[in-house]
Amino acid sequence: MNKTLLAGLIIIVLMIATSFFGQYFAPHSLDEHQSVTYVVDENGNGELTVPPIPPIKQYPLGTDKEGYDMLAKLLAGSKYTIFVSLVVALARLLLGGIIGLSLGYMSKAKPARTDKLPIWNILNGIPIFIIVWMIMIGITMNPAASPFYMTTILAVILTLVGIPTVASTMKEKTMILREKQFILSAKSIGSGHFTIIRRHIFPHLLESFLILFVQEIVLSLSLFGQLAIFNIFVGGTTKYFDPVQYVSRTNEWSGLIGQARDYLFIYQWVLFIPLVAYIVFILGFHLISIGLEQVYKQKFSKFSHI
């Protein structure tokens, strides 16, 4: 197996397994709170403990400013980071793929020239996070809805704004593929449209769908991070006053990063621990994407052209 692909798969499988089973091995739960304590030992020496606590044996990843275990917060938020990105990418691929494949096959136009810019590509040039920000900014701060409901709203919006990109990509690939000789031969013997799409076009696009799925996951994760810069967190944002603070309701990783930006020069572990987890997760899918491209390139390069 390709080493790059294997490395990416190992990273992702380990992180998903940790998300499912890590809570059973974590020393503290999300509800446990480390308050300010003053303990006097038998020699009369006192020790004052004030959160945030740096990483120690009792708290392997330390605590946040309120005294909650960072490991417990990471495990709780991992489900939102992992599964929301997977669901958004899958929904984009299914809806955008069906639309793009249908438009590409049924369109009477010829494949676009490289020097001609399709209208869909112009629309794709609009930063998606700006569109999402304009929609979410009015409803994400201190929402009355549950975190799950707010997560669903964000997932639907991210899916809808990402469909044109996927559809445009699959449309161009389908338009090129439909001109191949084996497709024209299938039409000449009377094969129906559905049969041609199911038996000839889709199998040849399967590799493209798989690579695009992984790439869409990376794009979704990147959007989470961009939105978190503007305090729009997955599941909603709790805003506190005096002083003003923005807190993620779900402990999703990009939300933990966004709410900890002020800790860059103090209590760095509160910022860098979720940041490292977030980067490693994105890196895992990036390696899978590169590995898949290498595998399919090697696969097709073994066959000589007749």
pLDDT one digit per residue (tens) for the chain, 306 residues: 688 999 999 999 999 999 989 888 888 888 888 888 777 777 777 777 788 888 988 889 999 888 899 999 999 999 999 999 999 999 999 999 999 888 888 877 665 554 454 555 555 556 788 889 999 998 999 999 999 999 999 999 999 999 988 998 888 888 888 887 877 787 778 777 777 877 778 888 888 889 899 999 999 999 999 999 999 999 999 999 888 899 999 999 999 999 998 888 888 999 999 999 999 999 999 999 999 888 877 765 554 444
Residue 260 vs residues 34, 40, 204, 297: alpha-carbon distances, Å: 19, 32, 46, 42
Structure tokens at 95: 């809806």
* Spatial CA neighbour of 63 closest among 43, 86, 35: 35
Round to whole Å and give the CA distance between 102 and 167: 9
Cβ 275 vs Cβ 257: under 8 Å: yes
Distances in whole angstroms, Cα of residue 191 to Cα of each of 72, 101, 186, 195, 217: 57, 17, 6, 6, 36
Residue 222 token pair: 């990147």
